[in-house]
Amino acid sequence: MSIAKELHFDVLMTDVKVQAQSKVFEILAQEAAPVCGVDADVLYSVFDKNAEDRTFSLEDGVAIFDVKSTQIKTPALAMMTFDRDIAFNTMDGKSVNIMAAVLSPQSCGPVHLQRLANVSRVLRSHDLCTALREVDNTDAMRALFMPTQDWMLAA
């Protein structure tokens, strides 16, 4: 399986203007629901239930939201950047300005873990995170995840 396939982000959002974690999950649920094959309100409920113990901070204001649920019908990857640091209920309590979400049906097991590991690995690139903070549209963000990018080759 190639990295390019593993890191196809279904939902990309740049410079999201929010002030609270709950609003982040509300927006993410609206955008990811059609991809995941579930109603946005149901997906938001899944996010709200899992927010506390499934949001992991990497470093430099980057977090990964990791959710497996029987409510999710189709797996999805999402990437969001925020216009400011957002206080998140992460394990280390640090604010974030970049968040990836790995959303999977409960039955995805090892595939979910592989996708989570790939996202985590690529987001450890300081250069990628700097570039993510500088993009101002989803096309530019999508280009950052092309397989020819150095951080993608390292992943």
Q: State residue 4's pLDDT score.
A: 42
Helix count (H) and strand count (E) of the chain? 7, 5
pLDDT number for residue 77 = 96
Give the closest residue to 30 by CA, choosing from 41, 19, 20. Answer: 41
Averages of pLDDT over runs of 10 residues in the chain (155 residues) are: 60 94 93 96 88 70 91 96 87 85 92 91 91 94 82 57
Assign residue 93 a region: left if phi > 0, alpha if psi is -120 to 50, beta otherwise? left
| Residues found in the chain | 155
Q: In this predicted structure, what is the pLDDT of residue 153?
A: 57
**Domains of the chain, first to last:** 3-142 (3.40.930.10)
- Strand, helix or coil at 27? helix
Phi, psi dihedral angles at 123 (to 5 degrees): -75, -5
